[in-house]
Amino acid sequence: MKSSRATGSTGEVGSGGELHQKSEKTGDRLTTNQGITISDNQNSLRVGSRGPALLEDFMLREKITHFDHERIPERIVHARGSGAHGYFELTKSLRHLTKAGFLQNTAKQTEVFVRFSTVAGGAGSVDLPRDVRGFAVKFYTDEGNFDLVGNNIPVFFIQDAVKFPDLVHSVKMEPDRGFPQNASAHDTFWDFVSLMPESMHMLMWVMSDRAIPRSLRMIEGFGVNTFRFVNAEGDSNFVKFHWRPVLGAASVLWDEAVKINGADQDFHRRDLWKAIDSGNFPEFEFGVQIIDEATAAGLDFDILDATKLIPEEVVPLQIVGKMVLNRNPDNFFAETEQVAFHPANIVPGIEFSDDPLLQGRLFSYLDTQLSRLGGANFHEIPVNRPRCPMRNFQRDGMRRIDVPKGRVAYEPNSLDPDSPRESGTGFATHPEGDFGPRKIRERSETFKDHYSQARMFFNSMSEPEQRHIVSAFAFELGKVETPAIRKRMLGHLAIIDKALCGGVSKALGTTEIDPIKPALEPRDLAPSPALSIIKKAPATLRGRKIGVLLSNGIDGSLVKQFRKAIEAEGAEMAVVCPKIGGVLLADKAKLPADHALSGAPSVIFDAVAVFTSDDGARELAEEASAIDWVRDAFGHLKVIGFNGPSAELLNKAGLSGMFDEGIVKLDDKKADFLTFINAAKQQRIWEREPKIRSPG
């Protein structure tokens, strides 16, 4: 009997709020590689609904083992990475909370190695897809290595590690066609997440500007899972780990990301390398949120739920240390590519919680590192092959003999209603334990709220960030070919926020919505301003790059004084000229160029200025690349400075009558430079965006 969900209707919400299908057709039963029918593919076996996962769960172990060995030779996820050496210094002793030595002595430096990475793409993909960024830190402590393996987003798509292979299968290239690369804007991803309400909070983050960061030096980092601190007296507290960039978090616009990927697919990798090589060492503050068990029990969500965060307004963030990255790798393969992170690499004083996502990670990472060359298909060797039907969504790997057909390699799904489903008559562990509580596959009731924090996140965003979220959803769902998936996803957005759903629906040009019944009705939570990039963005030019387009015949003192003013703010000025040979100043002196105009589009700068002579302005106004340089900067909401003659280029770019506070005339050097700098410190002119760009 086929599930109604397979045809695109709302379906049945399971014990964890997931939308999934069951089948009693013998040929359609979901099985292990040994042919044992699976009764529950949504929950790992654990001791009680909130207890630790059990090693005897052979279905979980087989599924993740096979998944860990699917790709050779690169990592299955986080394949594209950038690494750096550095050190960590404690600024506030945590002796009262943990017996970990490196978190007690403020006089000691601890060596670290950090790997930043994308998630979905392969090793040869680009640096700026819309994607989560990995943020993994290996501390070389005196008591052993401690690996803090996290992301630049504090929550995750799923609550239970048993769903991780399904998540990654859905976002990776579709198996029957081998595309798209490093992109979530396609059917299988949105099919999966639209069937998994627990993903809604993470989707708000991924559709926000967090997923297109300006630089790896400007991303926040989070441990994601809940861990424990244990002190010398045996007292224990829950802990959440945070990294905060000293430069402040910053992002690019989607159109910039697209163009940067075309202009320089190594943009992030190059930026990190050059910053360290030039002595501008990236710095990150290290923070912790400490939660005792009584406080954790009083929260209105489960602290073991990785799809939830603890707002800083509820549990303040304590900054207790700083990390400085001061040395590039000597050899990319030997260090960045071969470094092996594992959440189970801990030191005394740091321990795990029973977070079901973390419990699965404790097995998965080590298994992945044991053999990056794979070898998971031994069950297909004739002597090992089961004689009964074997059907599941495990794919690929070395020595693959079967040839699975179709685009679907995950569950739940609605794209292939005839694919295998879990069966109530499948293998079920005897519930009575030998010595302790009952062994069950059941998600706690406290994990059922999938929408409240997603709504809180949206309501915490500034108006420009909300517009970007609407645009991101509209773009991604516009790539989805199956109408039922779009309708289902709009049903989830309607629960999160009516205005969000309305904006996306309008951009898509549809009013068709598939109503979704939530496992638990969402609540209206107080906004958390700390979640917004724009609301807490520092007014600074430090670490930014200002591009200055020059022509022949300009006053060299104007450029010199502008550079002095920019560098005094901690920013870098780059000279862009029509040709790489540079320009001749008014006094006939030669000023060399940092970039030729053809190789330095304005998207690579944080703000721009144009200084021309009268003749130079007329010449540039005939250059398409110069017109695009100014027009793109305006469209990307950047501050634009210009001297009198260069107004001709701005007018040719179509900006006549569109001047705003972000277009600054630079005639009175001291006063005008200050006006330009103060405007550029705000990063972008957000008020400009709704006048020039609609969502979708």
User: CB neighbours of 68 closer than 8 A, spacing ≥ 6?
Assistant: 76, 364, 367, 368, 376
Q: What is the pLDDT of residue 19?
A: 61
Q: What is the pLDDT of residue 426?
A: 75
Alpha helix locations (H) across 595-668? 614-620, 624-635, 647-652
Alpha carbons within 13 angstroms on the beta-carbon side of residue 535 total 14
Q: Tell me how far apart the alpha carbons of residues 231 and 381 are, in angstroms, rounded to a whole number.
A: 51
User: What is the pLDDT averaged over residues 177-203?
Assistant: 95
Q: What is the pLDDT of residue 62?
A: 87
* Lowest mean per-residue pLDDT among 52-66, 141-155, 263-277: 52-66
Q: What is the pLDDT of residue 254?
A: 96
Read off the pLDDT of residues 274-333 as tens digits, 9 standing for 90 and up: 999 999 999 999 999 999 999 999 999 999 999 999 999 999 999 999 999 999 999 887
Instruction: Give yes or no for a contact between 219 and 135, defined as CB atoms under 8 angstroms apart.
Output: yes
Read off the pLDDT of residues 43-60 as tens digits, 9 standing for 90 and up: 999 999 888 888 878 788
CA terminus-to-terminus distance, the chain? 39
User: Catalytic pick from 33, 151, 182, 237?
Assistant: 151
Tell me which DSSP letter residue 504 carries. H
Read off the pLDDT of residues 485-536 as tens digits, 9 standing for 90 and up: 999 999 999 999 999 999 999 999 999 999 999 999 999 999 999 999 999 9
Instruction: Give yes or no for a contact between 432 and 49, defined as CB atoms under 8 angstroms apart.
Output: no
User: What is the pLDDT averaged over residues 102-107?
Assistant: 95
CA 691 to chain centre: 29
Per the prediction, the chain carries an average pLDDT of 90
- DSSP labels, 520-561: S----PPP-GGG-TTTT-----TT-EEEEEE-TT--HHHHHH
| For residue 558, pLDDT beyond 90 | yes
| For residue 23, pLDDT beyond 80 | no
| For residue 376, pLDDT beyond 70 | no
Q: What is the pLDDT of residue 21?
A: 61
Q: Tell me how far apart the alpha carbons of residues 195 and 488 are, in angstroms, rounded to a whole number.
A: 8
Q: What is the pLDDT of residue 9?
A: 38
Q: Tell me how far apart the alpha carbons of residues 392 and 385 are, in angstroms, rounded to a whole number.
A: 14
Q: What is the pLDDT of residue 11?
A: 43
User: What is the pLDDT averaged over residues 551-565?
Assistant: 95
Please confirm whether the linkage preceding 348 is cis (ω < 30° from 0).
no
State whether residue 92 is helix, strand or coil: coil
Strand order in the sheet with 640-642: 595-596, 572-577, 545-550, 607-611, 640-642, 663-665
Read off the pLDDT of residues 566-611 as tens digits, 9 standing for 90 and up: 999 999 999 999 999 999 999 999 999 999 999 999 999 999 999 9
Tell me which DSSP letter residue 307 carries. T
Structure tokens at 150: 């996290």
| Domains with residue ranges and CATH for the chain | 81-370 (2.40.180.10), 448-531 (1.20.1370.20), 545-692 (3.40.50.880)
Q: What is the pLDDT of residue 435?
A: 55
Instruction: Give yes or no for a contact between 32 and 64, defined as CB atoms under 8 angstroms apart.
Output: no
Instruction: Give yes or no for a contact between 108 and 156, defined as CB atoms under 8 angstroms apart.
Output: no
Q: How confident is the model at residue 7 (pLDDT cuts 50, 70, 90)?
A: very low
Which amino acid makes up residue 469? I
Q: What per-residue string of b and e applies to 288-324 under the rule 16 or more CB within 10 Å gives b?
A: bbbbeeeebeeeebbbbbbbbbbbeebbebeebbbbb
Nearest to 308 by CA among 322, 289, 325, 326: 289
Q: Tell me how far apart the alpha carbons of residues 46 and 439 are, in angstroms, rounded to a whole number.
A: 6
Q: Tell me how far apart the alpha carbons of residues 435 and 659 are, in angstroms, rounded to a whole number.
A: 75
In 121-264, where do the E strands start and end? Answer: 133-141, 144-151, 221-222, 227-230, 236-245
User: CB neighbours of 327 closer than 8 A, spacing ≥ 6?
Assistant: 84, 85, 86, 276
Q: What is the pLDDT of residue 272?
A: 98
User: Catalytic pick from 69, 78, 242, 636?
Assistant: 78
| For residue 689, pLDDT beyond 80 | yes
User: What is the pLDDT averaged over residues 161-187?
Assistant: 93
Which helix (H) or strand (E) is 289 found in, with range?
strand 283-291
Q: Measured at the alpha carbon of residue 474, what is the angle toward residues 471 and 480, in degrees to the nearest 5?
A: 150
Active site annotation includes 379: no
- pTM for the model stands at 0.81
Active site annotation includes 78: yes
User: What is the pLDDT averaged over residues 661-681?
Assistant: 93
- DSSP labels, 657-695: T---TTEEE--SHHHHHHHHHHHHTT-S-GGGHHHH---
Read off the pLDDT of residues 393-450 as tens digits, 9 standing for 90 and up: 878 766 677 878 889 988 999 999 989 988 887 766 666 565 567 778 889 999 999 9
User: CB neighbours of 190 closer than 8 A, spacing ≥ 6?
Assistant: 184, 476, 477, 480, 485, 486, 489
